[in-house]
Amino acid sequence: MSSDPSPAYQPDPASRGEPLVPLLRVEQALGDPDALATWYSALSNALSTELSHDLLGLWLYPAHGGAVLIGPEALAQDDLKVPLPAPQVEPSQMALLEDIVRDAGYASVACLPIRSGRRDVGLLLAADLRAERYGEEERRMLERVAQHLSPLMGRLSRQWGGTGGATPQVARFAALVDALAFLAEHAGSPPLYVAELGRALDKARRLDRWRRPVGNFVRRVRGLLRRDEASTA
């Protein structure tokens, strides 16, 4: 266990109006349950200023299957069954989960997946004892929270479970596919896309057989963008 009682979490440096999501290194989450629990508490506290909730449930979907409750720890005692992705959770299954939580006494419930690429890597559930707390604006806030959590949960999903996972080459390729899918959906301008693409391909370049084609591809796209910017200036 880590001897540091207060890991250096910092809010996500997003634009104004975006939810504050604490940062957590994957190696901390995998090797120190206390660090993961502290991070979850920080996440719940940070969101409480923008999104009212009496319950914030967070589950991880490991790549090898199943579901792992990240928090709150007390929810494990309720033996709440969450739907599993195949590779995504069906909306009808999330609606059923919302109904179960409402029957437990929470008047307002919102549940949505945390998606990385084409698969769901986690599940986020917010519940409040008061009625009519989650309208369209609050659900959009939860969607942005899920987007911020996607990179971390995606890496945790691939690495959760120890040595029985994929080889480093397969893991890097899976990370690359997830990153490209995320960029296609969320990147803004073409220069921003290429900049983020370069970062996503960084790990893939460590494979000898990919280093040259990947480098050539990035340089070619950047050259095309510079030429396009010059022609429109």
In a 13 Å sphere around the CA of 175, the CA atoms on its Cβ side amount to: 22
CATH topology assigned to domain 26-159: Beta-Lactamase (3.30.450)
Residues 142-181: pLDDT tens digits? 999 999 999 999 999 999 975 444 444 545 555 565 566 6
Return d(Cα 98, Cα 3) in angstroms, integer: 38
Q: In terms of pLDDT, which residue wins out, 2 or 233?
A: 233
pLDDT tens-digit series, residues 171-229? 555 556 556 665 555 556 666 666 666 666 665 555 444 555 555 665 666 666 666 66
Q: What residues pair up with 57 in beta bridges, in sequence order?
A: 125
CA distances (Å), 188 to each of 150, 181, 183, 191, 192, in order? 17, 14, 9, 8, 6
- Judged by phi (left if over 0) then psi (alpha if -120 to 50, else beta), residue 65 lies in left
Query: In 3D, which of 127, 142, 128 has the Cα closest to residue 50?
Result: 142
pLDDT for position 17: 61
Greater confidence (74 vs 108) lies with: 108
Compute the average pLDDT of residues 95-122. 96
CB 146 within 8 A of CB 115: yes
Stretch among 62-71, 73-82, 149-158, 192-201 having the lowest mean pLDDT: 192-201
Q: Are 123 and 98 in contact (CB under 8 A)?
A: no
Predicted structure pTM score: 0.65
Q: Where are the domains of the chain?
A: 26-159, 168-232
Q: What is the mean pLDDT of residues 2-25?
A: 55
